Structure 1
Amino acid sequence: MPKVGMPEIRKPQLVKATMAVIDRVGLHAASIALISKEAGVSTGIINHYFGGKHGLLEETMREILRQHSATIIQSLARLPKEAYQQRIIAIVDGNFVGFQAENQVAKTWLAFWSYSMHEPQLKRLQRVNEKRLLSHLKIELKALFGADQAEVIAHGIAALIDGIWLRGTLNPQGIDADKARFIINDYLDKQLTFYSKK
């Protein structure tokens, strides 16, 4: 996390530079020297305010997570509380459209996923993100299903989001938001049909 006193104008500049360098050379080769050159700042500024590469990567992921969360919250705020299926798709869309689907952001996410297995702070951020997604989904699903079913279906949708997102990120054509929406809507419709017959 950046130290108090970090000029607010510098944070977006450094986050953007971090994503650009990861996009170009990958996470492991994304050195402080390359990032500082991209941002047009000295390496000392990054080391002083972020404590090095790990701190800057953490701040980059925090910014991506903030934008991700804001996108979903804004989308949900525009929909009626009773439009449960639309609200679920709005949560899904938050993972596949706009900022989250930009190439540099997607590559940074992918690097973050792999890095979080070995970095406790990044692993904690990943868990926060996962819990937030499941919480958003379960709130909407509990209006359509019992609590146990909502839990299972929320995990199913989260797994579909992760899988579709991963495949899309590794695909040269990128993420297909329409296809993602179709697949998850189809899964949700099947769950609604299945549980309505019970």
Structure 2
Amino acid sequence: MPKVGMEPLRRKALTDAALRTIGQHGSLGVTMSEIAKEAGVSAALAHHYFGSKEQLLNETIRELLRQLRRDAVEALAGAETPRARLSAVLRVSFAAEQFTPETVAAWLAFYVDAQRSEETRRLLVVYARRLRSNLLSALGRLCPPDDAARIAEGAAAMIDGLYIRQSLRSAPISSTASVALVEDYLEAQLKGFVR
């Protein structure tokens, strides 16, 4: 029986290892044994904590989403104006730990998996809705509702597109440059609206 307090640490180690392993392979075609080895535990222990590879992968997505949520709550708490809130959402979207090559590759692998897995699709819809909600919360105070919705969709598409470009690795763009590109888009879209 695991020691009290060890289970959360081991579960986190396994989700972190899953993220790294998927990122290194560039697909979800990894085994529990490979993930367990990366985490420094046995495959049996990985199965004990998660049951199946699919459950471990879903928990890995959930952990990414939880981290994004924690980062967003913290960043938004310090943003005093609607425009500052938009910038905070962008910084969180391109935070260093979210924008590593391995994490980007894992996100893309999850998007591919969403074509066959209802659970993966559901989790990614949660991400998309949360991003849109965070953008709309700020944009709704800066421009009319129809414009806010259009601009939010454009910003979200740019964020997702920059992740896809990052995955190409042939011409990686930095986190800072990615934020600047989306900031430029937002400034152009918001020009003319009273702020």
TM-score of the superposed pair, with normalisation by structure 2 = 0.88
How far apart, CA to CA, are the structure 2 residues paired with 1:134 and 1:6?
36
How far apart, CA to CA, are the structure 2 residues paired with 1:70 and 1:61?
14
Matched, 1:25 2:25: yes
How far apart, CA to CA, are the structure 1 residues paired with 2:18 and 2:30?
8
Among 156, 159, 180, the alignment partner of 1:182 is 180
Equivalent residue for 1:99? Answer: 97
Query: Displacement of 1:182 after TM fit?
Result: 2.2
Query: Displacement of 1:6 after TM fit?
Result: 8.0
How far apart, CA to CA, are the structure 2 residues paired with 1:49 and 1:67?
20
1:70 is aligned with what amino acid? R
2:73 is aligned with what amino acid? I
SS at match of 1:17: helix
How far apart, CA to CA, are the structure 2 residues paired with 1:26 and 1:171?
12
SS at match of 1:112: helix
1:157 is aligned with what amino acid? A
Asked if 1 retains the 8 angstrom alpha-carbon contact of 2:104 and 2:166, the reply is no
Q: Which shows bigger deviation, 181-190 or 126-135?
A: 181-190
- What stretches of structure 1 move > 6 A for 4+ residues in a row? none
How far apart, CA to CA, are the structure 2 residues paired with 1:175 and 1:183?
10
Q: Deviations over 1:76-114 (max 9, x none)?
A: 11121xx22221011011111222112322221121111
Equivalent residue for 2:44? Answer: 44
How far apart, CA to CA, are the structure 2 residues paired with 1:63 and 1:132?
15
Percentage of identical aligned residues: 34
Asked if 2 retains the 8 angstrom alpha-carbon contact of 1:17 and 1:38, the reply is yes
Q: Which shows bigger deviation, 51-60 or 37-46?
A: 37-46
Aligned length: 190
Query: Displacement of 1:11 after TM fit?
Result: 1.1
SS at match of 2:98: helix
Equivalent residue for 1:9? Answer: 9
How far apart, CA to CA, are the structure 2 residues paired with 1:27 and 1:6?
29
| Superposition RMSD in Å | 1.9
2:25 is aligned with what amino acid? V
Among 147, 154, 164, the alignment partner of 1:149 is 147
Q: Which runs of 5+ in 1 are unaligned?
A: none
